[in-house]
Amino acid sequence: MCGIFACHKHPEVHKFKPQALQLAKAIRHRGPDWSGNVISNDTILTHERLSIVGIDSGAQPLVNKEQTLFLAVNGEIYNHRILRKQLKGEPKFKTHSDCEVILHLYPEHDIDTPKLLDGMFSFVLYDKEKDRTIAARDPIGITSFYQGWSSKTPDAVYFASELKCLHPVCDKIVSFPPGHIYDSATGKTTRYFQPTWWEPSRIPQSPVDYKKIRHTLEKAVRKRLMAEVPYGVLLSGGLDSSLIASIAARETAKAKANGRLATNGQALQHELVGIDDSDEYSTITALPELHSFSIGLPNSPDTVAAKKVADYLGTVHHEFNFTLQEGLDALRDVIYHLETYDVTTIRASTPMYLLSRKIKAKGVKMVLSGEGSDEIYGGYLYFHNAPSKEEFHAETIARVKNLHLADCLRANKSTSAWGVEARVPFLDKEFLEVSMNIDPAEKQINMAAGRIEKYILRKAFDTSDEPDVKPYLPDEILWRQKEQFSDGVGYGWIDVLKDTAASMVTDEQLANPKPEWGSDIPDTKEAYWYRLMFDEQFPQQCAPTVMRWTPKWSNQTDPSGRAIATHVAKYQNAV
């Protein structure tokens, strides 16, 4: 994950440059490997780089041969080799970076360029000849991206990977909408991502195809192994991360069996074919054994389950424990990096933030993670209460559309705080197209019929009727009940957050929220406490970028899965 800060049409861009470099420095944690900047006309692009692909030649901002196009990108373009083959003429590439292909696509495809990209990305491109800036964000918003304006420079527009770059100079800030592109020539931001499943009023009728689900997810994992640095997997022991780990372990084993592993005794890397005849592969490097990482309180549900999965898959497993006090001590920093005050996000992000630091210390720069599955398949326990398949489907679409304000934000910022990149195979465009077009009746939960949450995803990887196929996971993991990450790291974690908040916030404070909060009023002491810590670090213009979430179809307001009556270890039964 990298960091971007850019400004188009600054009236005194050269005088602004020192401040721009300081603002970019605020997100150097996202890109600790190199810093770059360029000024053209009255536009400045800055970039903080985390090198994953093209590590020796991909410094940014990228510039075309004619020095008329300038590009700063955060993210990965998984189909860059395929796109290179499709370009007209014989374009001259200056780097091995996956992102450079955008520079060559733009002259041919203009603002349709992001439609062609398969990956996670946010970018700012400046066209010197047209004095034009375009900016775009990936379809789901896996990479964080913001846009801002200042009343002091009314003709300028600003872009950044994080709020902390923008609020010192902008008095209006928005979260850049996923799947959209901004064009300074028109001043408009338009949606380029137009999948078949976008409108909730369209209820799909397609029956479930288990093999298609399996093969599409395997392909999604495979393309996300594009890297030139060691990678690993985040492993909570839940269904989603365990499936991703299982597929990644199989891909690593294939590479090992093909004899493409180096034997230098150091990081031991290999390169797996460029593009095969089906255009599926890109450059992959890996440790000869897959490394997995988990975190929790001692003997937490997740760490116990993760160890079982790691033993089954044969990964080199790293289990880390944290104390309740360590979690509490990290909260302020977590909120600084997350740039949110949403209760669910902060609860889950704190262990992920602590784990990412450990991963960085191990020399791993990229990890695969399991975000997105619960939104796609209705895996949260409150989906038990969905009144109809139509409402079930509408809620899955709403959750996927808002991932950039919730789980994608958590995964992106918790890891990038320590210079680690998280990739999320479940949010692959092709996998989404397959999964969101399944008749939602197939996704609905029916405990009486043995159909627990995410039944069809579990069934897609159930090989009990395929004797020649090694099971992807043990049955106790494949059919394990949903455990939200903030619960699974240890039930004491949420309990201590509530208890500490109760001692930090008085009843009088809760009853008298700050006037500037308007209608966005915390409804618990924990939420109030987080909002106070957010306000200490971010001014009011940042608050509209935050979404607070509570479950639907339920009278309870606590977002924890353990607060749902269908949880086998619900609060009143928890030890």
Task: Return binding residues for L-glutamine.
Answer: 98
Residue 18: count of CB within 10 angstroms of its CB:
9
d(C-alpha 59, C-alpha 440), whole Å: 45
- Residues forming a β-bridge with 158: 7, 148
Determine which helix (DSSP H) or strand (DSSP E) holds 174, and give its type and residue range. Answer: strand 172-175
Closest of 354, 12, 3 to residue 160, by C-alpha: 3
Catalytic residue (one of 2, 165, 170, 542): 2
- Residues forming a β-bridge with 55: none
Annotated catalytic residue 2? yes
The binding site consists of: 98, 234, 295, 369-370
- Residues forming a β-bridge with 157: 8
Q: What is the CA radius of gyration of the chain?
A: 23
Q: Are 146 and 166 in contact (CB under 8 A)?
A: yes
Tokens 């990956």 map to which residue? Answer: 119
Closest of 85, 90, 67, 61 to residue 2, by C-alpha: 61
Structure tokens that stand for 489 in this block: 């790291």
- Amino acid at residue number 403: L
> What is the signed CA dihedral for 451, 452, 457, 459, rounded to 10 degrees?
-50
- Amino acid at residue number 333: D
Q: Are 491 and 569 in contact (CB under 8 A)?
A: yes
Which positions are annotated as active-site residues? 2
